Structure 1
Amino acid sequence: MIAYTVKHLLKQFSLVIIVLAIALFVFQNVALADKPPTKDSVVAVTGTVTGNVQQVGFRAFLFKLAIQYNLAGWDQNLSDGTVEFIWQGKQSRIDQAIAQIPTGDTSAIVTQVLTKSIPVNPELNTFVVRGWTSVSRHYFKPTDLTFTLRDDNSVISAKAAQKIYKNTIRPIVGDE
């Protein structure tokens, strides 16, 4: 009888420990998920830009911002005339880049920028302009432009980003 009681108590105790461990795990994950990102947190956003943003060099502008701020992701033209993008990187850098979208590219007329948070993809280490073409360079064969994130994760000047952009397109369109 005593052996049965001890065995029964141990079984109950084990169940209590398992339930407590599960509760602690769930609580920790909920608490972490509820914390707002800091300026140095890696986050990801998807965005849609509306206006006169196709065939004016706007996606190249987004590409240069990604190069400048060392952001991973991609951009592409949508059939409704908008541009869709994903940026992933430090929160503060994404905020700075998004702030430049409405007025940073003088050839585009941006009427709306909508963004929302999405899950971070730890495998993402490039930024790709999907199906890039260039009216000003008379290049109409859709080509993916790719920038690989810098290992030092530094921010560079807009001028340095422009140079990297030109080096990226040089094999495609030749020297300008």
Structure 2
Amino acid sequence: MKDIIDAVFIDRDGTIGGGCSAVYPGEFELYPFAKEAIKLLKSLGIKIFAFTNQPGISRGESTIQDFERELLGFGFDKAYICPHGEDEKCSCRKPSSELLIKASNEYNIDLKKCVVIGDRWSDMLAGSNAGTKKILVMTGAGNEALGKYRSKWSSIQPDYIAENILDAVSWLML
């Protein structure tokens, strides 16, 4: 493995399944290769955390508990979820790194030894602000993050651009 990794933070929608828009628990389907990627990380004893913005929670369309149950069922050790919409001006919504910092404090992990894997500019910015490695996946909104929204994170370079989450995890294992 490239380096010792304390934890991997993985975005939900577009990274492990679904697509470019939010799909609520019960309807959300993992990409087949995401199951293998999660298994690989688990076999190495690496902590796996979901970190996701889910504004539908604040609109009453789902609950944090539903998301947590689903993500834990996929094999995540813990889910860090921002339930707020953009207009709510909270401090936990990505691109803020607050969810990463919260996990770091709860699990006593060094964020410089962590990796963020996601498909959006907000994932890359959150990782950069926290000092993690960053991997952009080309599933979900990955193409938009590199093209249409590149100006939002132009000074930041991902450590790797992966075809999908399995490619990202395979790269980490080199």
Could you say which TM-score interval applies, normalised by the shorter chain? under 0.3
For normalisation by structure 2, the TM-score amounts to 0.27
* Bigger fraction of residues in helix: 1
Rg (Cα) greater in structure: 1
For normalisation by structure 1, the TM-score amounts to 0.27
* Bigger fraction of residues in strand: 1
